[in-house]
A and B are shown apart, each in its own frame.
Chain A
């Protein structure tokens, strides 16, 4: 089947509505960049799930980063994406405007160089991410240990994907199928989705990131749905193996252990987060939060959006008080978040 034929078939689809959730920020971005929604039947709905680690990072975590960055002699190291995420009061970008010390890094290993150059400053790395980025924090910890670096710690908000997917399956019956995450699957492998597909009776298709890959994966899901099948299919075989990347999994296992964790917009999901193991707590900058009293702004319906219950314009705050420049809820925070995307396409979806 050619790509054109596939696009024609997806455009002509007129069966029951199919809701497909993607849980990978890069998939969301690619769907948007390639105009995938405009190519397929309106009966195939693409829902952006909790696939952006920045978007699901709780505000109390951001608050703590801001507090640290404001402290004399301290500096927060972070990836660019975290700069814009609002805590209960402000984002790191706002905090910098008030004198906070924040440095944007592009690789966690740059933190070593920075810390060694300025031993007088206490650095705290904002370690946010899913399985994709966690192994790199493990490598960073290896370096901190071997070089005996005293002035670099991690404030962690690390999550794993599968419990969140299970949460969606158990609490939301309107999602028919999943585009399994691309990058995360490179680390954890695709076997795990076999179990999910059987348990929840939904198709799970692992897809690459090009527009053609996504269309092929969506086509596979539609075929499965039409034929009443629910299978795991790995369509990103050149990067995703059955068991994942053992070296990356091993470094995660060395430093981190599972814990219940809070997902902004969703709530606590059991055994969905990672924290530093006891013997490595000395590298932790205070990541254990006693309570996640997430004060979701009044009227914010991000959790309904993330779970695919409503579309962003159905939220009373959307495009009124909640915009990309002044995001209220997590889905508007990242330009790749679902509300951010709808905002850009308002009037067209």
Chain B
């Protein structure tokens, strides 16, 4: 069955949609009250964030827009040293959207939220005329487990860790768009457990950032600017799968600028870097973790290439489109 404008009318069909899709899947005490707002208990300081998701195709190898919408917000909370607790979601659904697909998206959202230890406690649905696309906004509240984690907080001598292979989400999405057959799967994942592991092991994490749009290059430049330092990385330490490397070679893409949805950097004091790396590698989302570089005095991001040349890594300009030449 397809969504039509009556599903957004506020009447019977809207109620059915909410019950049959959202309440059924998200199912938790707070949401099930169906009050105008969710009433929540938290302890201590909170992190609070929001993000909107538009992706084509909505379903791709390794996930769908729903998983992205939950993981994106969960990861933004986690990067501030917070434990995700509550999420809200707003759906903007175009007419022609498939109800089964919507159900599948909601189901995936519940799975991802459960893995992250969070409940989806409030939501909203709007239907607009269109071609069957679905757009999702999520917001989230997390309880701060560790204070002081900040992108302004890195010091010369600190070590930068990355939790795994770059470029997989970007390559999976592009493969979907281009109809390319391969086995590249999006890395979309909630990173709260990885963050919790680091905190439990008393790693004095200075800063964490999830490496999403704009890629590692953009995140490292933000770090350099915000902490007023130089970032030195080594090309040979940056994990990229063979399949993604081949994909990039064909399309003229650079993994440093490609989007990820389950990757993060953690900047840690040098003396704890080995332990932090070991902790990361113990977690299922950190198996391919590497120490990719260090923080130094100065400015900018500089990479030592595999031939021992040096290359400045700038932020991405414009969109990351493939070259033709």
A25 to B324 alpha-carbon distance, docked (Å): 9
A35 with B305: CB separation less than 8 A = yes
A36 to B309 alpha-carbon distance, docked (Å): 6
Within 8 A of B (CB), among A25-49: 25-26, 29, 32-39
Q: Beyond A52-B325, A106-B251: 10 further Cβ-contacts under 8 Å?
A: A33-B305, A37-B309, A79-B322, A81-B322, A129-B324, A325-B317, A325-B318, A335-B317, A336-B323, A345-B312
Q: Is B132 an interface residue (CB 8 A)?
A: no
The 0/1 profile, CB within 8 Å of A marked 1, for residues 292-325 of chain B is 0000000000011111111110100111011111
A183 to B318 alpha-carbon distance, docked (Å): 26
Q: Which residues of B contact A82 (CB under 8 A)?
A: 324
A32 with B323: CB separation less than 8 A = no
Within 8 A of B (CB), among A6-29: 7, 24-26, 29
Q: Is A80 an interface residue (CB 8 A)?
A: yes
Q: Which residues of B contact A106 (CB under 8 A)?
A: 174, 177-178, 251, 322
A38 to B235 alpha-carbon distance, docked (Å): 15
B325 with A33: CB separation less than 8 A = no
A211 to B308 alpha-carbon distance, docked (Å): 11
13 contacts between A and B (CB under 8 A): A26-B323, A33-B254, A34-B306, A35-B305, A36-B307, A37-B309, A39-B308, A81-B321, A84-B321, A106-B178, A106-B322, A324-B317, A325-B318
Q: Which residues of A contact B254 (CB under 8 A)?
A: 33
Within 8 A of A (CB), among B137-188: 174, 177-179
Closest approach, in angstroms, between the C-beta of A29 and any C-beta of chain B? 7
Chain B: how many interface residues by the 8 Å CB criterion? 26
Q: Is B252 an interface residue (CB 8 A)?
A: yes
Q: Is A83 an interface residue (CB 8 A)?
A: yes
Residue of B nearest to A79 (CB): B324
The 0/1 profile, CB within 8 Å of B marked 1, for residues 194-227 of chain A is 0000000000000000011001000000000000
A93 to B317 alpha-carbon distance, docked (Å): 13
A247 to B317 alpha-carbon distance, docked (Å): 38
B323 with A211: CB separation less than 8 A = no
Q: Which residues of B contact A38 (CB under 8 A)?
A: 309-311
Most buried by A among B174, B178, B179, B311: B311
A211 to B304 alpha-carbon distance, docked (Å): 13
A211 with B318: CB separation less than 8 A = no
A35 with B325: CB separation less than 8 A = no
Interface residues of A (CB under 8 A from B): 3, 7, 24-26, 29, 32-39, 51-54, 79-84, 93, 104, 106-107, 110, 128-130, 132-133, 183, 211-212, 215, 324-325, 334-336, 344-345, 348
B314 with A34: CB separation less than 8 A = no
A212 to B179 alpha-carbon distance, docked (Å): 33
A334 with B309: CB separation less than 8 A = no
Residue of A nearest to B303 (CB): A35
Closest approach, in angstroms, between the C-beta of A66 and any C-beta of chain B? 17
Closest approach, in angstroms, between the C-beta of B95 and any C-beta of chain A? 19
Residue of B nearest to A28 (CB): B325
Q: Which residues of B contact A215 (CB under 8 A)?
A: 307
Residue of A nearest to B307 (CB): A211
A107 to B174 alpha-carbon distance, docked (Å): 13
Closest approach, in angstroms, between the C-beta of B216 and any C-beta of chain A? 14
A334 with B323: CB separation less than 8 A = yes
Most buried by A among B179, B308, B322, B324: B324
B323 with A344: CB separation less than 8 A = no
Q: Which residues of A contact B308 (CB under 8 A)?
A: 7, 39
A104 to B308 alpha-carbon distance, docked (Å): 36
B307 with A35: CB separation less than 8 A = yes
Q: Which residues of B contact A79 (CB under 8 A)?
A: 322, 324
Q: Which residues of B contact A80 (CB under 8 A)?
A: 319, 321-324
Q: Which residues of B contact A107 (CB under 8 A)?
A: 178
Given A34-B305, A211-B305, A215-B307, the answer on whether A83 and B323 have CB atoms closer than 8 Å is no
A183 to B174 alpha-carbon distance, docked (Å): 23
A133 with B324: CB separation less than 8 A = yes
A38 to B310 alpha-carbon distance, docked (Å): 6
Within 8 A of A (CB), among B107-136: none
Residue of B nearest to A107 (CB): B178
A325 to B321 alpha-carbon distance, docked (Å): 14
Residue of A nearest to B250 (CB): A106
Q: Which residues of B contact A325 (CB under 8 A)?
A: 317-318
